[in-house]
Amino acid sequence: MKTDSKSEEIKSNELIEIKILPDKVKRFHKNVSAIEVLKSFDIANLDEVVAIRINGKLLDLSHLIIENAVLEPVIYKEEDGLNILRHTTAHVMANAVYELFPGVKIAIGPTIKNGFYYDFDPQKPFIHEDLEKIEKRMREIVKKDISIIRKEVNKEEAKKIFVGEIYKQQLINDIEEEIISIYEQGDFIDLCRGPHLPSTGKVKIFKLLSIAGAYWRGDERNPMLQRIYGTAFTTQEELEKHLQKTEEAKKIDHRRLGKELDLYSFHKEGPGFPFFHPNGMIIINSILDFLKEELLKRGYEQVGTPILLDKNLWQMSGHWDHYKELMYFLEKSGREFAVKPMNCPGGVLIYKTKPRSYKDMPLKWAELGIVHRYELSGVLHGLFRVRGFTQDDAHIFCLPSQIEQQLIETIGFVIYIYDKFGFKEYKIELSTRPDDYMGSLDIWERAESALKDALDHKGVEYTINPGEGAFYGPKIDFHIFDSLGRSWQCGTIQLDFAMPEAFDLHYTGEDNAKHRPVMIHRTILGSIERFLGILVEQYKGAFPTWLAPVQVILIPITDSHKDFSLKVMDSLKKMGVRVNLDDRMETVSKKVRDAQVLKIPYMLVVGDKEVRTNCVAVRCRSELDLGPVPIEKFLKEIDLELKNRYLESKVCSNKKPLI
């Protein structure tokens, strides 16, 4: 169809309406850049703006706007703004490496929590001293204030641009879209979705931290690359605070403390699978015993489902289509099985074993189930990222009319448990429909609305996490903050209309007709193994007495005090206290120091005076010396502490001896 030049001119002059939050509105010609719009609104802190957000999507300041839009400026200090700063800094680092080390092959460079990294394949391995040279070149690139330009090319053009770059060629081949975005800064070009800062001069304070090995795409079958880690902030003060926190984190690294306290180990024979020692199992069982008590109080029943289940089940549940890459498989007698990555389909099969009535609802089934997921070796990290773990799972089957009450109760349960472990601060996210969702839009809207209503009823603050729901339903995620202010995603509550539909679940209602139940999936701690790793670092290995592998150690001064110590030990054991006797031929001070290294809560020293007065000299791992304490008094205090699962010592919180 032919159009004349006059109609084309009218079309190009069409006006669009752009609103800047909260209520400023102006009209512009189509194809106006975001930065031009921002300048016209005379924004006071324009220098701090790094990108824009339109309908939740982050875009460059150079982005051309072609239709009515609500535009939200993104500044450095926002989480998204800080990520953009760090991602651009990563590109500056790659640029510096590209210039300093001819022949280097560049892989990927994403942002991570508190920083960024880039993977390289250099002709000669990097050494730590190279970081200073790279930083110096980065500062030169920043000083030049090189424009960062986004371009879009088709896949064939991209392959020509990155000729000889083997890792980029693989990435291009794997991209489904025909049009690919690239970013240029001077002579340096890289594949990237963006957004980025408008120029290298906008990069602020940065520091390169370390070099590590990393398999390409995290797969040990691929080449080993070198990964350079770094971080970036807007001020030197923020950087120094972060570096200080990093040093503190190294001291309490759960992998180091786990070895020192003889809790667990890792072996090449089982990559990604932790081996728990007796001390580690004591802590895990203490956590699980606590959970079981609380489940019983709240009307949960426990179930158990097999680790291996037929492939057809996973096809019905949707995991085959949406989760297959993370699953383990085996074949026996011509039949295919999968190791379960989640517990929910097993619970569904139990539901189907007999007719259900509305009178049975809600059914609250908890399962401490072991699941397996094939995580790439490059992302495995102590207890924080493993391939086999125990979930404190539960599935609630309820009537539609019971949804809100069950969600409200579950949210309260999660918060109560976190409080008992000392996590007072947490962030709550509502994750909505992903691209690969199961079920209808109507079902998803109902589910998302129910989760919002429950959160609003509890009066808790939360943020929306668009597109991050599970494939079968939206979810509420709980992120706890530890003593160093780090965030950990643990609990999740997921509302699922899709799986009951897929498995044709039903119950008989009051009207004697069949109806579809609603399924709520929930975990509180998430992975027990991961939560243990978090606790090790949260408590710096000094567990509350109720969790400590050894709670009390008796230290007789000489052999003549051993019989009295054994009597005290027997009294403690009858109360369920985990107690050891240190009768080594060592000095008392040496025994006390060793017990403090093992972070044992209480050291009871026994000498002539203690035997004569029926006391024990109580020393705390905090180095507080309480002196002689009557045995009955100590037994009463520790019994109270254990029964109430106190986080802090009630014995050692007293500054004076408990006489």
- DSSP letter for each residue of 18-60: EEETTTEEEEEETTEEHHHHHHHTT-TTGGGEEEEEETTEEE-
The rounded distance, in Å, linking the Cα atoms of 465 and 535 is 26
The rounded distance, in Å, linking the Cα atoms of 408 and 413 is 9
- Active-site pick, 86, 91, 356, 521: 521
- Active-site pick, 60, 119, 393, 582: 393
Peptide bond before residue 195 is cis, with ω within 30 degrees of 0: yes
Note if 521 is an active site residue. Answer: yes
* Three-state DSSP state, 198: coil
The rounded distance, in Å, linking the Cα atoms of 103 and 101 is 6
Note if 391 is an active site residue. Answer: yes
Note if 486 is an active site residue. Answer: no
The rounded distance, in Å, linking the Cα atoms of 630 and 633 is 5
Question: Maximum distance among all alpha carbons in the chain?
Answer: 111
Helix/strand/coil (H/E/C) assignment for every residue in 518-577? EEEEEEEEEEHHHHHHHHHHHCCCCCCCCCCCCCEEEEECCHHHHHHHHHHHHHHHHCCC
Identify which of 121, 90, 91 has the alpha carbon closest to the alpha carbon of residue 106: 121
For the beta carbon of residue 94, count every other beta carbon within 10 angstroms: 24
Helices (H) and strands (E) in the chain, counts: 20, 35
- Active-site pick, 168, 319, 372, 373: 373
What are 73's strand-pairing partners? 52
Q: Give 516's Cβ-side CA count (13 Å radius).
A: 12
Tokens describing residue 466: 């668009």
- Active-site pick, 190, 192, 319, 344: 344
- Active-site pick, 395, 530, 561, 619: 395
- Active-site pick, 53, 86, 385, 475: 475
Q: Contact, 30 vs 63, CB < 8 A?
A: no
Q: Give 60's Cβ-side CA count (13 Å radius).
A: 22
For the beta carbon of residue 166, count every other beta carbon within 10 angstroms: 13
Identify which of 7, 69, 62, 71 has the alpha carbon closest to the alpha carbon of residue 36: 62
Q: Contact, 150 vs 194, CB < 8 A?
A: yes
Note if 344 is an active site residue. Answer: yes
| 140-to-79, 92, 126, 185, 246 alpha-carbon distances in Å | 27, 10, 20, 13, 27
- Active-site pick, 226, 391, 402, 551: 391
Q: To which residue do tokens 């880039």 refer?
A: 118
The rounded distance, in Å, linking the Cα atoms of 234 and 85 is 8
Q: Contact, 570 vs 514, CB < 8 A?
A: no
Write the DSSP symbol of residue 83: H
| 603-to-47, 467, 608, 614 alpha-carbon distances in Å | 59, 53, 17, 16
Instruction: List residues with catalytic annotation.
Output: 344, 373, 391, 393, 395, 475, 521
